[in-house]
Amino acid sequence: MNRVETLLKELHDTYDGEPWYADSLHQTLDGIEPSRLRERTRIAELLAHITSWIEITNRRLDGEIFEVTDEINFRTPADWANELSRLDTAQKALLARVAKMTDADLDRTMPGKPHSVEFGVRGVVQHCIYHQGQIALLRK
């Protein structure tokens, strides 16, 4: 398995596969009732934040250079169904971008950043796992 295939597997496992550590993000979000979010507002905020960073990474992979403002980083969540749909769209777009890459592409510098593309995409995996743990605790 080359590096691109490994990265795709990590992205897939984290989102809706079978990661080594616990449930996938999708499994953690599954079954959260929108009515429950009124008492657990941080869950929707965390989901919006996770999605924002996948979208940020997609934009950077497309060559866009921009500042991540608080409005982008910590945007106000939409209704739950729209947030779930937005997450799914962003994740599919990221997988499509990475699937077109070569190992050499992973070594390129992320537009506007001092690190590699691979470092940035792996950051998405780590970021999702981190906040997924918070969501899992909050949904109890």
Kindly report, residue by residue over 88-120, the tens digit of the pLDDT.
999 999 999 999 999 999 999 999 999 999 999
Sequence ranges of the domains in the chain:
3-138
Q: For 20, list phi and psi in degrees, rounded to 5.
A: -70, -25
* pLDDT at residue 140 greater than cutoff 90: no
User: How far is 74 from 52, CA to CA, in rounded Å?
Assistant: 8
pTM of the model: 0.95
> What's the confidence (pLDDT) of residue 11?
98
> What's the confidence (pLDDT) of residue 77?
95
State the distance between the two ends of the chain, measured CA to CA, in whole angstroms. Answer: 38
> What's the confidence (pLDDT) of residue 40?
85
* CB-based contacts of 2, cutoff 8 Å, min separation 6: 103
Round the average pLDDT of the chain to a whole number and report it.
96
pLDDT digits (tens, 9 = 90+) for 26-68: 999 998 988 888 888 899 999 999 999 999 999 999 999 999 9
Neighbours of 55 (CB within 10 A): 19
Cα–Cα distances in Å, from 35 out to 5, 39, 79, 85? 39, 8, 11, 18
Q: Which CATH number is associated with domain 3-138? A: 1.20.120
> What's the confidence (pLDDT) of residue 28?
96
Q: For 2, list phi and psi in degrees, rounded to 5.
A: -80, 180
